[in-house]
Structure 1
């Protein structure tokens, strides 16, 4: 029997592996984020905590790398896997972007249920909200790590970084605090793109929901009444 059903381009073994591992890997990504946060925010003199944080970061990243290798093997695509599953590749190189895989986590959980518990619009808004929260926190950590000791930096505290992340994600861009290092600006550019995409998804979903509500109200209105 073939591992690749006719109605799917993904081998059956790979789909089963993804279904079983998406949730545990998402939990591992939260531990990675915790370890990275401790590494960035804990003072240098608290050495045991910094060593523990580094161990946690390395251990979770090795787990991601092992999962990536298994996915390549089960896909049967070889190096073509890097192109067809580009998000997996990006997330492996930049683990702080793992919140972008929330939709895969939801899909893996949903396969175990008969029907979705939330409506389409609620799912879009929930996904966008959780992704924005995790990406904003990750970006704030990354920018603070790169900026707070840089000459001429305006992002000196983690609070500054959080304020900058909120302004960037919401596309407000006050400009009172901005990255000045090349890596910081790279993070900023990525967050701008993600912010626009998430804001567009939420706005479009909310607008569509309003249209549906008003359409139903119009259909219930008796004929001849304006």
Structure 2
């Protein structure tokens, strides 16, 4: 039911999403910049820490306004929360905004009659950029949670970046691991995201190859014809 509701989005909602996608992406980068400054800047680095907090608050307010407009234009009311669960999750945890690549991947999968490389390349490039942004976000979050924890092996931001790379690629060397409960939840989420992003890239490339070969086979006249 949710897929059908999503496919039948009102034209006004579709137009809003198309117009807001670019500005919201910029807002996501600004949110990440503000959060990074807040986490990495020394406690005495004022006014930068204060300004970063303002930047985080303002950009998150933009996400709230966008979410409210989507609810109004969708005509779904409270069902919007369930039907558009990814938008709801991203509003609660703005660091997960890169996961909106799932929407792009879904849109490409629906265009089975047009297996153009540009469409699938968009998914693969977006997934690569998403991996970088999500990995950086996870490194910031895990460093924030872990570096002062008793018995922590993640003491520097460099440790956090190394951990994020190993986790996102599902390699998991185990040389640095989170020890706090929330840190382990972040790790589990990053593992799942790594699998999803890898699936989006490999799935897009495989679909494009299969559909291209199928079209080539249809062009070849039958033997003896």
User: Where does residue 37 of structure 1 map in the other structure?
Assistant: 36
* 2:127 counterpart of 1:100: no
**TM-score, structure 2 length as denominator?**
0.82
User: Where does residue 202 of structure 2 map in the other structure?
Assistant: 203
1:42-69 CA-partner distances (Å, limit 9, x unpaired): 0001121000000000000011011111
User: Where does residue 181 of structure 2 map in the other structure?
Assistant: 182
* 2:164 counterpart of 1:140: no
Kindly indicate whether the alpha-carbon contact (under 8 Å) linking 1:22 and 1:104 is maintained by their aligned counterparts in 2: no
Displacement after TM superposition at 1:106 (Å): 9.3
Displacement after TM superposition at 1:187 (Å): 0.7
Kindly indicate whether the alpha-carbon contact (under 8 Å) linking 1:103 and 1:127 is maintained by their aligned counterparts in 2: no
Displacement after TM superposition at 1:207 (Å): 5.0
Displacement after TM superposition at 1:204 (Å): 3.8
User: Where does residue 50 of structure 1 map in the other structure?
Assistant: 49
Gaps of 5+ in 2: 1-5, 108-113, 221-225
User: Where does residue 154 of structure 1 map in the other structure?
Assistant: 153
User: Where does residue 223 of structure 1 map in the other structure?
Assistant: none
User: Where does residue 8 of structure 2 map in the other structure?
Assistant: 9
Q: Which 10-residue stretch deviates more, 52-61 or 120-129?
A: 120-129
User: Where does residue 18 of structure 2 map in the other structure?
Assistant: 19
Q: Name the SS of the counterpart of 1:171 in structure 2.
A: coil
Displacement after TM superposition at 1:19 (Å): 1.1
User: Where does residue 112 of structure 1 map in the other structure?
Assistant: none
In structure 1, C-alpha distance between the alignment counterparts of 2:171 and 2:98, rounded to whole Å: 22
Gaps of 5+ in 1: 1-6, 109-114, 221-226
Displacement after TM superposition at 1:214 (Å): 8.8
User: Where does residue 3 of structure 2 map in the other structure?
Assistant: none
Displacement after TM superposition at 1:124 (Å): 2.9
* 2:87 counterpart of 1:85: no
1:82-139 CA-partner distances (Å, limit 9, x unpaired): 001101100000000001124557999xxxxxx9995344223212201111100000
1:80–1:214 distance in 2 versus 1, CA, 3 Å: closer
**TM-score, structure 1 length as denominator?**
0.82
The aligned runs of 1:158-169 (5 Å cut-off) are 158-169=157-168
